[in-house]
């Protein structure tokens, strides 16, 4: 799905460049932006900054891009977005504030026009243009916050370089083009400026705005780091690094000092929200170490993600992904027959659906799909199910959570099954996947049991 590229097309390593990404809470208000600006100022290697939308803004924009929304609600949401941004700009010098507010007003007018049009003719394509406003606003403002503390920050429109296909809502980036465009348009500017650009968004060949999927700013930053052959990538967020599990689930979760690319990639893939699932792919391709830390408490350090780490424990972390769909396809024709699975996967591939877990028996196959609620697209549509029903009996179950135990050598260590399943022997396990990967053991439980399962397992495996 992601293009491969040969390393000889890359610029030689620009040892001095760090790409920094600030997430939504890091740019939520003026104080938060100011803290981030000081992080940039304190380390002159930080030359390119990719920002998310201020916290809450993308969710408002998602609501605006939905079909059933009244004119009153649209107006109300636009006012809320305006208030979030103006609350920040009011702390800047008068002339800067005025100039920014004019820009914000123009953008928000455009948004209300778009939103009105959109309510009459809904499409994911228009949704992407609406979603992009969040990052467009926050990046303009953050460049000015940098300037206000004496850093030569400048706004840069990422759409000049982040060219994608037209898969709106989850566009695929042309990384060859990104590398050459960055060399031409970004690199020269980094000599004397700190560029502030947008995470999450891109532009297709038709000139239309695209997005890389919710939480995609991490991935944008990693792609930019790769394209610039940066020395490092820093992901600044609201926690002091990657934890042994989501600290919102258990306060016993603790920060991990260093973790390998492979383990961190497994965590991201299996739902550790701290990193977008694709973030580590560009970093691994180019061997760019990634730091994850808190913009609120930069002095506390964080997690280093790199190729080789000192310890490779059997259990590293537990990730959780909610709202999974389990599809069971069953056909007596599968018994001793060949080609059935190819047909099933042919349908899924046609609809660009990616399967996470899979288990098989003589005449049936169980498959799981991610179904994130913030997604702008329905993934497993009724059309897909109907097409599968032409082939076989199909059962679809919702309300499941995927628990992934992540570590090293999990496919061959003794006693794994007992340690894990004995701990949660009062819970109904709906499906288990073990053996294919040395780095994970995954299973499905009911959504309502998920926190309890993670909490119990964490206590057993990490304390
Ligand atoms: P940002 O807006 O900075 O991108 P996110 O909300 O996307 O931040 O990701 C940070 C959040 O990820 C944390 O607040 C935490 O609740 C959640 N999270 C999930 N799993 C983990 C984990 N293993 N370690 C740390 N944080 C995690
Ligand atoms: N603003 C986008 C989102 O909320 C992208 C990001 O924050 O990474 O999904
Ligand atoms: Mg995020």
Residue 7 predicted with pLDDT over 50:
no
Residue corresponding to tokens 């503390």: 149
- Judged by DSSP in three states, 411 sits in coil
DSSP state of 185: I
DSSP state of 172: P
* Alpha carbon nearest to ligand 2 atom 5, residue: 215
Using the Cα atoms of residue 327, residue 368, residue 56 and residue 196 in order, give the sign of their dihedral. negative
Give me ligand 2 centre to Cα 52, in Å.
6
Residues within a 6 A CB radius of ligand 2: 23-24, 52-53, 58, 134, 199-200, 214-217
Residue 13 predicted with pLDDT over 60:
no
- Specify which residues 436 forms β-bridges with: none
Band (377; pLDDT cuts 50, 70, 90): low
Band (256; pLDDT cuts 50, 70, 90): very high
Average pLDDT in the 126-150 region? 94
Distances (CA, A) of 169 to 123, 143, 162, 397: 10, 26, 15, 25
Burial class (CB in 10 A: 0-12, 13-18, 19+), 292: buried
Domains identified in the chain and CATH numbers: 12-238 (3.40.1160.10), 316-462 (3.30.2130.10)
Looking from the CA of residue 241, the nearest atom of ligand 1 is 25
Give me ligand 2 centre to Cα 364, in Å.
38
E strand residue ranges, 99-193:
153-155, 163-164
Nearest ligand to the C-alpha atom of residue 235 = 1
Q: Using one digit for the tens of pLDDT, what is the confidence trace for 49-77?
A: 999 999 999 999 999 888 778 889 988 99
The whole-number pLDDT of residue 8 equals 35
The whole-number pLDDT of residue 96 equals 85
The whole-number pLDDT of residue 116 equals 64
- Specify which residues 230 forms β-bridges with: 14
The CA dihedral of 387, 390, 393, 398, to the nearest 10 degrees, is 10
Residue 3 predicted with pLDDT over 70:
no
The whole-number pLDDT of residue 295 equals 98
Band (9; pLDDT cuts 50, 70, 90): very low
* Alpha carbon nearest to ligand 1 atom 27, residue: 246
* Alpha carbon nearest to ligand 1 atom 11, residue: 274
* Alpha carbon nearest to ligand 2 atom 6, residue: 215
Count CA atoms closer than 13 A to 308's CA, side-chain side. 0
Looking from the CA of residue 55, the nearest atom of ligand 1 is 2
In Å, how far from its chain's centre is CA 207? 23
Q: Using one digit for the tens of pLDDT, what is the confidence trace for 92-131?
A: 998 888 888 888 888 888 777 776 666 555 567 788 999 9
Distances (CA, A) of 145 to 30, 87, 148, 154, 238: 8, 13, 5, 10, 19
Q: Using one digit for the tens of pLDDT, what is the confidence trace for 261-280?
A: 999 999 999 988 999 999 99
Band (14; pLDDT cuts 50, 70, 90): low
Residue predicted with more confidence, 436 or 138: 138
Looking from the CA of residue 320, the nearest atom of ligand 1 is 20
Residues within a 6 A CB radius of ligand 1: 23-26, 52, 215, 237-239, 242-243, 245-248, 272-274, 317
Q: Using one digit for the tens of pLDDT, what is the confidence trace for 172-203?
A: 999 999 999 999 999 999 999 999 999 999 99
Q: Tell me the average pLDDT of the chain.
A: 91
Residues near ion ligand 3 (CB < 5 Å) are 23, 215
pTM: 0.91
Nearest ligand to the C-alpha atom of residue 25 = 1
């Amino acid at each position: 799905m992601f293009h491969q590229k040969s390393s000889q097309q890359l610029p030689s390593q620009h040892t001095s460049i760090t790409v920094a990404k600030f997430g939504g809470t890091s740019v939520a208000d003026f104080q938060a932006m100011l803290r981030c600006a000081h992080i940039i100022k304190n380390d002159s290697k930080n030359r390119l900054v990719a920002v998310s939308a201020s916290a809450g803004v993308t969710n408002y924009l998602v609501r605006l891009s939905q079909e059933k929304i009244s004119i009153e609600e649209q107006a109300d949401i636009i006012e809320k977005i305006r208030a979030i941004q103006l609350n920040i700009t009011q702390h800047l010098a008068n002339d800067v504030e005025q100039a920014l507010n004019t820009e914000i007003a123009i953008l928000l007018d455009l948004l209300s026009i778009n939103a009105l049009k959109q309510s009459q003719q809904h499409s994911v394509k228009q949704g992407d243009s609406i979603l992009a406003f969040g990052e467009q606003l926050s990046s303009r403002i953050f460049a000015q916050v940098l300037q206000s503390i004496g850093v030569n920050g400048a706004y840069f429109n990422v759409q000049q370089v982040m060219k994608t296909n037209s898969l709106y809502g989850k566009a695929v980036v042309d990384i060859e083009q990104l590398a050459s465009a960055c060399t031409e348009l970004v690199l020269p500017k980094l000599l004397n400026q700190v560029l502030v650009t947008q995470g999450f968004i891109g532009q297709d060949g038709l000139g239309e705005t695209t997005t890389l999927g919710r939480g995609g700013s991490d991935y944008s930053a990693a792609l930019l780091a790769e394209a610039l052959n940066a020395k490092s990538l820093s992901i600044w967020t609201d926690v002091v690094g990657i934890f042994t599990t989501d600290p919102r689930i258990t306060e016993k979760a603790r920060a991990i000092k260093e973790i390998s690319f492979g383990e961190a990639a497994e965590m991201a893939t299996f739902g550790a929200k701290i990193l977008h699932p694709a973030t580590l792919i560009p970093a691994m391709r180019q061997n760019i170490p990634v730091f994850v830390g808190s913009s609120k408490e930069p002095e506390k350090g964080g997690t280093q993600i790199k190729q080789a780490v000192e310890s490779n424990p059997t259990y590293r972390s537990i990730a959780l992904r909610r709202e999974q769909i389990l599809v069971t396809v069953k056909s007596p024709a599968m018994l001793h027959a060949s080609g059935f699975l190819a047909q099933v996967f042919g349908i899924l591939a046609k609809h660009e659906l990616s399967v996470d877990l899979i288990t098989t028996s003589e005449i049936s196959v169980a498959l799981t799909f991610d179904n994130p609620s913030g997604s702008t697209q329905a993934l497993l549509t009724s059309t897909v199910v109907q097409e599968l029903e032409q082939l076989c009996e199909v059962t679809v179950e919702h309300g499941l959570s995927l628990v992934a135990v992540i570590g090293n050598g999990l496919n061959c260590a003794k006693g794994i099954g007992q340690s894990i399943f004995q701990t949660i022997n009062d819970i109904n396990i709906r499906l288990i996947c073990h053996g294919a990967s040395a780095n994970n053991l995954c299973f499905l439980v009911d959504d309502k049991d998920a926190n309890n399962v993670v909490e119990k397992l964490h206590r057993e495996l990490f304390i």
